[in-house]
Amino acid sequence: MPPIKDHPLRYGLANELHARPFPALSVPSTAVFLAIKQEHRAAGRDRAADMAHLVALLDRHGAAHPRLGDTHYSGTIGRHTLKWESHTEFVTYTAFSEGQGKRPFDPADFEVFPADWLAEAPGLRITSALIRIQPLKDDEALSADIAEWFVPDSVAVARVLDNAAVIAGDFRIDPAGHQRLLISVSPETGPRRVGRIMQRLCEIETYKSMSMLGFSRVGELSPRMGELENRMRAMIGDMTGGEKKAEETLPDLLDISAELEAMVTQSSFRFGATEAYETIVNQRISVLREERFKGRQTFAEFMMRRYDPAMRTVRSAQGRLRAMADRARRAGELLRTRVDVERSAQNQALLESMDRRADLQLRLQKTVEGLSVVAISYYAVSLAGYLLYPLTGVLGVSKGLITAAVTLPVVAAVWLLVRRIRNKFH
């Protein structure tokens, strides 16, 4: 019996769940992280350019190339292990190596990515980070390191994964242009768990930065939204009691509605992506299972105080924009209805005017017909009189009597003839 056939996507879909394994990191070690995004239309970018940029870095070290169409890669470049991932809007590079230099968060660590190679990147840096992975010290020594390496008023510190490590970061850009992240690892924590912690921190930083693009977008839209809202409010006021006619207001209102719809369309992807990135940030923080370290704020608390308000602003602006578009659409429909009613009233008045004119024309026509009967009768009586005057001598009557005798029959005949003609053509 022949074996059952597999769906052509079966293995690919199953393997996708295991396609991006966490790195296994020893302690101590150093990692550098870089996320690159095209400034505009990043979701529809040429991904071949991303792959070519990765290959250019690999060729400098004679490393093996990824397969065409791959969205992730792991390999060795010099003394570093490189992990590359392609996402919807950006690509990330993570390079980690064993051991540490004498200087914590040394900018020279980032030189694993050559300056000329960085200059040729098909996009812009959205974030970068220097990550120090060290053995866990006692609380006092660790507190001293944190005070020295991070900005005190914004630093977040937490014990994670049931005391597997203590993490710290201040979400600031240091003088070298990088974020700083510290992972102090307990002796019993294995390399793969260390890799998971590092990966979660990189994801938190990346998706936080990406979601803040939505906040920036709100800043760009807000002034124009305010202008359109004021114009729309004034137009709706004109609709309810203003002197401006509906036909004059409708084109302006339709222009506002069209602009709002365009703003909704242009911003829908960014707002949707922001919502998705915010969800990822919160999920990544929750899986760390934070516990407070010496009264310091945790990563979750930092996000609640600094990050969540920005995300609420984005959601509020998104709702406001949609509400404005809906309101403009409803106002446009109402105004169109008002225009239709006004036009119907105008058409009714026009029809009534036409009826009056038709009635006047009918009266005038009847008057003309009456006058025409008189005129025709006058000439017809004259002609009949001329025909009958020779009989005056025979009959012994005067011309006036003959004229009087034929007048009524002639008028009646003319009236009947005119009426018959009118009925025939009506």
Final residue of a domain: which of 318, 345, 372?
A: 345
> Which strands form 72-77's sheet, in the order they lie side by side?
72-77, 80-86, 90-98, 29-37, 124-135, 179-185, 165-169, 156-160, 291-292
Determine how many CB atoms are found less than 10 A away from the CB of residue 31: 27
| pLDDT reported for residue 277 | 96
Residues 304 and 369 in one domain: no
| Of 391, 242, 258, residue with least CA distance to 332 | 258
* Whole-number pLDDT of residue 170: 95
User: pLDDT value at position 215?
Assistant: 95
Residue 10: pLDDT band (50, 70, 90) is: confident
364 vs 217: which has the higher pLDDT: 217
Q: Which domain holds residue 28?
A: 19-190
CA distance linking residue 201 with residue 195, whole number of Å? 10
Phi, psi of 266 (to 5 degrees): -70, -25
Distance CA 301, CA 352 (A): 74
Is residue 316 domain-resident? yes
Tell whether 286 and 394 lie within a shared domain.
Answer: no
Residues 329 and 249 in one domain: yes
- Of the candidates 291, 325, 345, which is a domain's last residue? 345
Average pLDDT over residues 5-33: 83
In this prediction, residue 246 carries a pLDDT of 62
Residue 163 has pLDDT above 90, yes or no: yes
Examine the domain organization and report whether 137 and 219 are in the same domain: no
Same domain, 330 and 357: no
Whether 3 is covered by a domain: the verdict is: no
Judge if 313 and 363 occupy the same domain: no
Output the CA torsion sign for 217, 220, 221, 223: positive
Count: domains in the chain: 3
Q: What percent of the chain has pLDDT over 90?
A: 57
Rounded to whole angstroms, the Cα distance separating 380 from 293 reads 127
Q: Residue 178 pLDDT > 60, yes or no? A: yes
Distance between CA atoms of residues 285 and 226, nearest Å:
36
Q: Please indicate, yes or no, if residue 13 is contained in any of the structural domains.
A: no
Indicate the range of 75-89, 147-161, 293-307, 376-390 predicted with least confidence. 376-390
Task: Please indicate whether residue 57 or residue 330 has the higher confidence score (pLDDT).
Answer: 57
301 shares its domain with 366: no
Reading the block at residue 14, the tokens are 């199953």
**What pLDDT is stored for residue 137 in this prediction?**
93
Q: Looking at residue 425, what is its pLDDT? A: 61
pLDDT at residue 37 in the model = 96
Q: What is the pLDDT of residues 299-339, one digit of tens each?
A: 999 999 999 999 999 999 999 999 988 888 887 777 677 66
Last residue in a domain, options 124, 157, 190: 190
Mean pLDDT of the chain, nearest integer: 86
Residue 251 corresponds to which amino acid?
A: P
Judgement on whether residues 38 and 139 belong to the same structural domain of the protein: yes
Map tokens 């004059």 to a residue.
248
Q: Pairing between strand 179-185 and 124-135? A: parallel
239-254: average pLDDT: 68
